[in-house]
Structure 1
Amino acid sequence: ISDLRQAAAILKGRKVAKHVRALIFPATQKIWKQAMNEGLFDIFVDSGCAVSTPTCGPCLGGHMGILAEGERAVSTTNRNFVGRMGHVKSEVYLASPAVAAASAVAGYIADPNKVMEA
């Protein structure tokens, strides 16, 4: 839940860049419910993110966000080997929730402190 709160603090009142897909996957049903009750989903949806139920998805190349050739992802998962999230010619950068949220807003890998100042 602390990761989702961190991302929400950066996304609140901001919009995801037009060329960016921002996907939110809470880790468990308990965290999903807590985030919903805290109003974090409203912040995510208002900023342009898609919120999913807890599931394996793009982090293992399963669904909802699989990368195509040449696409790049800033991910909060813990693995980034070639082909993990889709095409072998895609790129995955691992980051904290704050960096991922700031990057979604900026449209490139960004420093959360600078996004918060803007």
Structure 2
Amino acid sequence: IGTCTNARYEDIEIVANMLKGKKVNPFTRVIVTPASERIYKKAMKNGLIEILMEAGCTVTGTGCGACIGRHGGILAAGERALTTMNRNFIGRMGSPQAEIYLASPATAAATALTGRITDPRGYLA
């Protein structure tokens, strides 16, 4: 969720609100990368980073991240990723036999909870 080219504060806030008090699916890796230091600091100040970490997310530093296979984002053959990044071409996150799907932050959060691509409307407050 997020990359250097997106992950606005509002995106992180939506995800944190959906995950608050919950745990991500144990078979799901959730990597959150705030787009800038300013966004990271605001999210930390407002408790969003803590919520994400308590839910089981890995929160990385700002900059390039999982979309180029950093911070645990490398996919093996047959793995699938649902991501909010802006690119999904073959081999972008590792194996050319991995599947990459692009989605909204809310869809990514709902999917993190269920472990399956999930419509977020049932999780939005």
**Root mean square deviation of aligned Cα:** 1.3
Give 1:92 deviation, angstroms: 0.6
Q: Secondary structure at the match of 2:75?
A: coil
- 1:30 and 2:38 equivalent? yes
TM-score with structure 2 setting the length: 0.89
Give 1:9 deviation, angstroms: 1.1
Aligned to 1:92: 100
Q: How many residues align?
A: 117
Matched to 1:9, the amino acid is N
Give 1:102 deviation, angstroms: 0.5
CA contact (8 A) 1:106 1:115 kept: no
CA contact (8 A) 1:58 1:86 kept: no
CA contact (8 A) 1:82 1:88 kept: yes
TM-score with structure 1 setting the length: 0.94
Q: Which consecutive residues of structure 2, in runs of 5 or more, have no partner in the other structure?
A: 1-8
CA distance in 1, matches of 2:106, 2:45: 21
- Counterpart of 2:82 (choices 69, 74, 94) is 74
Give me the identity figure in percent.
49
Runs of 4 or more off by more than 2 Å in structure 1?
61-64, 114-117
Q: Which consecutive residues of structure 1, in runs of 5 or more, have no partner in the other structure?
A: none
Alignment map for 1:37-116 (pairs within 5 Å): 37-116=45-124
Q: Secondary structure at the match of 1:101?
A: helix
